[in-house]
Amino acid sequence: MAISTVLNLAGKGAASLMAPAAGLAVLLAVVLVGVVADVVGEAATSASERDFHAMASDRVPGAPQAVWLVRHADRVANFTNDMVGDAAGTLSGALAASLVAQWRVAQPGISELWATTLLVAGVSGLTVGGKAALKGFAIRHAQQVVYAVARFLAGVERLAGWTLLRPAPASRNRRPARNAGAGARPRRR
């Protein structure tokens, strides 16, 4: 709720400072971010780790990040589809409302009801249509999408000097001591 409130206020504030054409361009960019985030989440849940393990053993840049993305597909999908997607939806709604208000000031004869209805319908059509159209692409090209995101993340890590995606710690599975016979005691360590 707090994130939605902040995004709504920030979106309306930012859009009121922009020219209507720039506001429309920002609105389309926000919709595109939401659609791309959905593609990334869908690809992460559809991709296979096997190819990325082979690439990681050959020290291919981005391969460890790709393994992490696929191994944590539930978290990746939650972040991209739910958090980023919902934030993009909230922000696009705030931007659309602000654009309608700007248009009404510039053109007092515009009906607020029709302008709002048409803009919101257009934004939701682009969002839902874009996600539906690219879902099949994300599934068919899951390996390539995940690897592209992983390469981007590897580049950010290299430039910033940060580790964004930490590998899981090595497992410490130890075998229990073998018993010498049926009634023997286990060895102490």
pLDDT in tens, 44-73: 999 999 889 989 888 899 999 999 999 999
pLDDT in tens, 169-187: 544 555 555 554 555 555 5
What is the model's pLDDT at position 167? Answer: 62
What is the model's pLDDT at position 116? Answer: 84
Name the one residue in this structure whose structure tokens are 């709504």: 8
What is the model's pLDDT at position 101? Answer: 82
What is the model's pLDDT at position 43? Answer: 96
Q: Judge whether residue 11 has pLDDT over 70.
A: no
Out of 13-22, 105-114, 124-133, 159-168, pick the least confident. 13-22
Question: What mean pLDDT do residues 10-38 have?
Answer: 82
Q: Give the span between the Cα atoms of 88 and 91, in whole angstroms.
A: 5
In this structure, the number of other CB atoms found within 10 A of the CB of residue 112 comes to: 11
The pLDDT confidence band at residue 109, using thresholds 50, 70 and 90, is confident
- Tokens standing for residue 59: 């020290």
What is the model's pLDDT at position 77? Answer: 95
What is the model's pLDDT at position 36? Answer: 96
What is the model's pLDDT at position 162? Answer: 82
Q: Give the span between the Cα atoms of 133 and 115, in whole angstroms.
A: 26
| CA distances in angstroms from 131 to 53, 86, 96, listed in the order given | 29, 13, 19
Cβ(90)–Cβ(123) below 8 Å: no
| 57-65 LR contacts (CB < 8 Å, sep 24+) | 61/151, 61/154, 62/147, 62/150, 62/151, 62/153, 62/154, 63/147, 63/150, 64/150, 64/154, 64/165, 64/167, 65/149, 65/150, 65/151, 65/153, 65/154, 65/157, 65/164, 65/165
Who has greater pLDDT, 38 or 107? 38
Phi-psi label, residue 59: left if phi above 0, alpha if psi -120 to 50, beta otherwise:
left
Q: The pTM is what?
A: 0.75
3-class SS of residue 112 = helix
3-class SS of residue 189 = coil
CA dihedral angle for residue 135, residue 140, residue 142, residue 148, rounded to 10 degrees: -90
CA angle 10/31/71 to nearest 5° reads: 100
